């Protein structure tokens, strides 16, 4: 229990966002990847009415158009799932490099993403979601703030020796615009892929997950992206999370602060992290760590 003059520690919450990470063209041509995307979304849309839990289509809206090019009859169902939040896409039209294109290209990318979501009567998550960019421009907080985004999520480009050892901080542009910045763990957006179903494996895997996330955590809110390159929704994900919860209960039963696992949408995760960063659930009295300018140093943390 905290001492009389010690701030009470909030619960540590692992916010699980089920997702896929999608390359439209890479080690297959675009047409082959589109075949795989259609199969992924066919299965997902068939399952959602029975288990309407959120799934993120990698933060890019173009995947919706690629699917409709093959399945135009699914427009109504796809729109309903986007409106209800069972599916999330955007805010980008396509995940692009953020250092080579111009600032105008970045703005137009976000505008195109918003227009695409409007075709479905939906809106994008209010997050500057950059899970696989190889660096980030100094103006990104200004651009994000201009689109009403209070959170940016990054992986590469951050974590070098000049940066705070923390998962959550404030990122400032030269004009003073500031967003909350969440930094993914060293394994990035694949850290929550292929979660185990057996108890013995779950205790080892979830122990590693929590210790890794906790070691840099500053707010009590820890993001776990459950997916990987071209992965569909993990079969029986809710059961896998229940197994993880049981493993964590057994592991941390004697700790004063508890660890909970909660499946959320990207939008819900953003609201929770932003509130925590601004003090609602803060483990410390003040989140003072911050970075300014462009991010292109993750040497010693992950490859850039």
Q: What is the pLDDT of residues 234-290, one digit of tens each?
A: 999 999 999 999 999 887 765 545 789 999 999 999 999 999 998 755 444 456 668
pLDDT, position 230 = 96
Specify which residues 154 forms β-bridges with. Answer: 130, 183
Specify which residues 170 forms β-bridges with. Answer: 180, 290
Q: How far apart are CA 149 and CA 129, in angstroms?
A: 10
pLDDT, position 253 = 67
Q: How far does CA 203 lie from the centroid of its chain?
A: 24
pLDDT, position 53 = 87
End-to-end CA distance of the chain: 42
pLDDT tens digits, one per residue of 224-242? 999 999 999 999 999 999 9
Rounded to two decimals, the pTM is 0.93
Give the mean pLDDT of 162-171: 93
pLDDT, position 255 = 56
Nearest to 224 by CA among 275, 179, 259: 259
pLDDT, position 146 = 96
The dihedral over CA atoms of 190, 196, 197, 201, expressed in degrees to the nearest 10, equals: -170
Q: Has residue 194 got a pLDDT over 80?
A: yes
pLDDT, position 151 = 97
pLDDT, position 290 = 87
Q: Has residue 127 got a pLDDT over 50?
A: yes
Give the mean pLDDT of 33-42: 96
- Reduced to 3 states (helix: H, G, I; strand: E, B; else coil), residue 177 is coil
- Average pLDDT of the chain is 90
pLDDT, position 43 = 93
Give the mean pLDDT of 139-144: 96
Give the mean pLDDT of 33-39: 96
């Amino acid at each position: 229990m905290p001492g009389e003059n010690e701030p009470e520690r909030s619960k540590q919450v692992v916010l699980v966002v089920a997702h896929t990470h999608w390359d439209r063209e890479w080690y297959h041509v675009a047409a082959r990847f589109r075949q795989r995307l259609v199969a992924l979304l066919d299965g997902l849309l068939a399952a959602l009415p029975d288990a309407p839990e959120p799934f993120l289509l990698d933060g890019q809206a173009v995947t919706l158009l690629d699917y409709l090019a093959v399945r135009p009859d699914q427009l109504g169902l796809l729109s309903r799932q986007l409106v209800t939040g069972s599916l999330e896409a955007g805010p980008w039209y396509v995940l692009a490099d953020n250092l080579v294109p111009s600032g105008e290209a970045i703005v137009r990318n976000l505008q195109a993403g918003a227009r695409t979501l409007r075709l479905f009567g939906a809106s994008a998550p209010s997050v500057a979601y950059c899970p696989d960019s190889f660096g980030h421009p100094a103006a990104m907080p200004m651009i994000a703030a201009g689109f009403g985004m209070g959170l940016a999520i990054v992986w590469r480009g951050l974590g070098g020796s000049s940066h705070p050892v923390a998962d959550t901080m404030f990122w400032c542009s030269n004009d003073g615009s500031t967003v909350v910045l969440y930094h993914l763990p060293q394994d990035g957006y694949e850290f929550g892929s292929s979660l185990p179903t057996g108890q013995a494996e779950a205790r080892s895997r979830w122990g590693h997950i929590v210790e890794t996330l906790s070691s840099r955590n500053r707010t009590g809110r820890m993001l776990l992206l459950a997916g990987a390159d071209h992965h569909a929704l993990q079969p029986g994900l809710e059961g896998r999370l229940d197994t993880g919860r049981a493993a964590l209960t057994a592991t941390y039963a004697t700790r004063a602060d508890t660890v909970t696992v909660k499946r959320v949408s990207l939008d819900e995760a953003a609201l929770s992290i932003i509130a925590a960063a601004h003090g609602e659930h803060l483990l410390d009295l003040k989140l003072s760590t911050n970075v300014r300018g462009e991010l292109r140093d993750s040497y010693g943390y992950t490859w850039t």
